[in-house]
């Protein structure tokens, strides 16, 4: 596999949600951006329509070998390897979990039900939040809320891109039983607009995603680091708004992403919503805050 095929196609600034924004303390940004570079590069491998499934698996093996110091083949894996070597508290387990999800993407194009999709999200999305929490030295008790929020963001991304994923990669994350339950067929994803049956399937998934977001909204107060608490509050608010946009618009026909101005506005809403909690925490006596 050529080096070009495994280099990241875009930067963290092109995502739907903040990645190591200015809210994150400067000493933590390098680790998060290195993890993002690793994830984006590996994701590009499995999204490359010119590669066979075996070539994709070989490329992901190269990512793993480079991350673990067994190879120098993948430039996109080297910054994270260096971070892990320098910060002994961090483990490669969250990056390796991502590779498991990407290996699924290389060979698996359909999901039977919501549980299967959540199992995929447990490897494709949850490790991202867990890595960020580990970087900040947060408790593993924050993982359930983080997992829910990250899984919600993953499903939102799947729904936003459901037409493109089907048309370009023949990959469908909408569970088969969600389609069958409304009488929709996979081929409906190739249409110019969603049929009533497909719309009903999407609405069911949007409702389930709303429940995930509600669970994930418990994360900001659980996070000890005040700056990360604000960051997670922003992400939760953006997830809520993106899910609402999907409810209002047709992802086969309409723009279902937030523009920069709208994203900034909703980020401000997220910060504002978290301020009462932050102020309460700042007002606590130091001995209580340490508990």
Query: Which pLDDT score, from 0 to 100, does residue 89 have?
Result: 86
Is the domain of 85 the same as that of 133? Answer: no
Closest CA to 126 of 108, 146, 105, 156: 146
Closest CA to 176 of 201, 154, 197: 201
d(CA 134, CA 132) in angstroms, rounded, equals 5
146-184: per-residue pLDDT in tens? 999 999 999 999 999 999 999 999 999 999 999 999 999
Please return the burial class of 78, using the count of CB atoms within 10 Å of its CB with bins 0-12, 13-18 and 19+.
Answer: middle
Is the domain of 66 the same as that of 190? Answer: no
**Based on the structure, what is the number of domains in the chain?**
2
Question: Does residue 228 form part of some domain?
Answer: yes
- Report the CATH number at residue 257: 1.10.600.10
Question: Does residue 262 form part of some domain?
Answer: yes
Question: Does residue 232 form part of some domain?
Answer: yes
Is the domain of 90 the same as that of 217? Answer: no
CA 82, 88, 89: angle at the middle one, nearest 5? 120
d(CA 68, CA 274) in angstroms, rounded, equals 38
Is the domain of 96 the same as that of 156? Answer: no
User: H or E segment at 124?
Assistant: helix 114-124
181-211: per-residue pLDDT in tens? 999 999 999 999 999 999 999 999 999 999 9
Question: Does residue 148 form part of some domain?
Answer: yes
Answer yes or no: are the C-beta atoms of 146 and 169 closer than 8 Å.
no
Answer yes or no: are the C-beta atoms of 134 and 154 closer than 8 Å.
no
Residue where a domain terminates, one of 108, 137, 153: 108
Query: Which pLDDT score, from 0 to 100, does residue 212 have?
Result: 98
Is the domain of 86 the same as that of 121? Answer: no
Query: What are the pLDDT tens digits along the chain (291 aa)?
Result: 444 344 455 444 445 555 667 789 999 999 999 999 999 999 999 999 899 999 999 999 999 999 999 999 999 999 999 999 999 889 999 999 999 999 999 999 999 999 999 999 999 999 999 999 999 999 999 999 999 999 999 999 999 999 999 999 999 999 999 999 999 999 999 999 999 999 999 999 999 999 999 999 999 999 999 999 999 999 999 999 999 999 999 999 998 875 554 445 545 544 555 556 666 666 665 545 445
Is the domain of 169 the same as that of 238? Answer: yes
Is the domain of 86 the same as that of 118? Answer: no
Answer yes or no: are the C-beta atoms of 23 and 31 closer than 8 Å.
no
Query: Which pLDDT score, from 0 to 100, does residue 283 have?
Result: 66
Query: Which pLDDT score, from 0 to 100, does residue 278 have?
Result: 60
Is the domain of 120 the same as that of 254? Answer: yes
Is the domain of 96 the same as that of 78? Answer: yes
Structural domain span for residue 150: 110-278
Question: Does residue 287 form part of some domain?
Answer: no
Q: What is the DSSP letter of 13?
A: G
Is the domain of 97 the same as that of 121? Answer: no
Taking residue 187's Cβ as centre, other Cβ atoms within 10 Å add up to 10
d(CA 123, CA 30) in angstroms, rounded, equals 22
| φ, ψ at 120 (rounded to 5°) | -60, -45
Is the domain of 196 the same as that of 155? Answer: yes
Structure tokens at 165: 């994923």
Residue where a domain terminates, one of 108, 135, 159: 108
Residue where a domain terminates, one of 71, 93, 108: 108
Q: How far is CA 267 from its chain centroid?
A: 17
Is the domain of 76 the same as that of 136? Answer: no
What pTM value is reported for the model? Answer: 0.86
């Amino acid at each position: 596999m050529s080096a070009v095929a495994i280099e990241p196609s875009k930067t963290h600034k092109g995502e739907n949600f903040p990645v190591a924004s200015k809210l994150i303390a400067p000493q933590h940004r390098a680790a998060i951006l290195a993890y993002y570079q690793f994830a984006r590069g590996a994701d590009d491998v499995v999204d490359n329509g010119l590669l066979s499934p075996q070539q994709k698996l070989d490329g992901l093996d190269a990512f793993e070998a480079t991350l673990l110091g067994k190879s120098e083949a993948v430039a996109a894996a080297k910054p994270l390897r260096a971070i892990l070597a320098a910060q002994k508290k961090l483990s490669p387990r969250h990056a390796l979990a991502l590779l498991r999800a990407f290996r699924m993407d290389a060979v698996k194009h359909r999901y039977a039900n919501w549980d299967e999709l959540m199992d995929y999200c447990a490897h494709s999305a949850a490790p991202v939040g867990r890595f960020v929490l580990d970087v900040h030295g947060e408790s593993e008790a924050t993982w359930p809320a983080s997992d829910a929020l990250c899984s919600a963001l993953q499903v939102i991304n799947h729904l936003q891109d459901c037409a493109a994923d089907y048309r370009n990669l023949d990959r469908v994350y909408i569970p088969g039983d969600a389609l069958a339950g409304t009488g929709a067929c996979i081929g409906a994803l190739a249409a110019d607009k969603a049929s009533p049956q497909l719309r009903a399937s999407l609405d069911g998934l949007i409702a389930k995603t709303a429940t995930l977001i509600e669970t994930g909204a418990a994360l900001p107060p659980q996070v000890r680091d005040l700056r990360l608490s604000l960051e997670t509050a922003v992400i939760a608010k953006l997830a809520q708004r993106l899910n609402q946009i999907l409810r209002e618009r047709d992802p086969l026909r309409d723009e279902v992403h937030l523009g920069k101005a709208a994203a900034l506005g909703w980020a401000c809403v997220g910060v504002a919503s978290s301020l009462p909690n932050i102020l309460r925490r700042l007002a606590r006596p130091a001995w209580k805050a340490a508990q």
